Structure 1
Amino acid sequence: MLGELDKKEIVDLLQSQFIGRLGCHLNGKTYIVPINYLYQNNAIYAHSGEGKKIEIMRENPLVCFQVDDIKSMFKWKSAILWGTFEELKGKERQQVMQSLILRIMPNTNEIGRDASHGISPDLHSDLVVYRINIEEGTGRYESHE
């Protein structure tokens, strides 16, 4: 059976995952990349080093975010959200970075691996921490139980 996810099911999906895909667009080109994220308060929180997606979002803050949970070809859930990029600074940036570390690190398979997630939010002061303020979304699923 194919169907649509309601708002609660979309929120549940967002809260159950920590990897999604961020889409941004500028000058006729679309750029889509996987990101680690945290969902809370109707927003997607993430971080990144300086680069193409940050440059694009600073120029055009209107973005798209997609997340899914695929168990098999015939058992999956997927949501697409649209929102606005907002760069975080100061205390809010530090709090979000700490929350991201707490959310993402338990899901890594390599103990002690630093990656860009670090142990302390202060170690990566060069990272851009941002929020995607969700404005609308839709979700679909397929299940044959």
Structure 2
Amino acid sequence: MSDQNPVHVLHPEESWGFLRTHEFGRLAFHLVGEVHLTPINYALDGERIVFMTAEGSKLFGVTANPDVAFEVDEIVGERATSVICRGRARTLEGQAAYVVERLPVRPWIDTPKSVVVAIEVDEISGRRFDLTRPWLRDLPAG
């Protein structure tokens, strides 16, 4: 491989570090034989992802089939970063749910979300891409 490879594999610690600096991602889950994708705000508790939700399709989906994927992406200038996690979601109840009291995970919109869900991550992978996007250089000025 050339030293000019535009794709850089992130070490797992780099991937976790990237997730720690963000608070918004996408959760993929199964629901009645279909895969659904929804945005969530989250926080990390060690090496697990914690979010809050309400009764509804997301909660039903992760309860019925806990296998999930989670992704966070970012584009800054000429670099893009993407981190994907795969794992198992479970609701936290009782004392375990109080983890949200010490984490910066709060609903972004004023809707009640009282169920705490944690994703126990089995696999994490990250990539950083050096972008060229030649079409941007071809845009007319002004």
- For the pair shown, which has the larger CA radius of gyration, 1 or 2? 2
Matched residue count: 125
Alignment TM-score, normalising by the size of structure 2: 0.79
Query: Structure 2: which 5+ runs fail to align?
Result: 1-5, 132-142
Equivalent position to 1:133, from 95, 120, 133: 120
Equivalent position to 1:143, from 126, 130, 134: 130
Distance 2:116 2:62 in 1: 12
Q: Deviations over 1:23-72 (max 9, x none)?
A: 00133311110101001221000000111011011110000000122214
Query: Structure 1: which 5+ runs fail to align?
Result: 109-113, 117-123
Q: RMSD of the alignment, in Å?
A: 1.9
> What amino acid is the match of 2:92?
L
The sequence identity of aligned pairs, in percent, is: 30
Q: Is the 8 A contact 2:51 2:105 kept in 1?
A: no
Look up the match of 2:9: 4
Look up the match of 1:97: 100
Higher helix proportion: 1
Alignment TM-score, normalising by the size of structure 1: 0.78
Look up the match of 1:75: 79
Q: Is the 8 A contact 1:69 1:78 kept in 2?
A: yes
Q: Is the 8 A contact 1:82 1:137 kept in 2?
A: yes
Residue 115 (structure 1) aligned with residue 110 (structure 2): yes
SS at the partner of 1:50? Answer: coil
Q: Is the 8 A contact 1:84 1:133 kept in 2?
A: yes
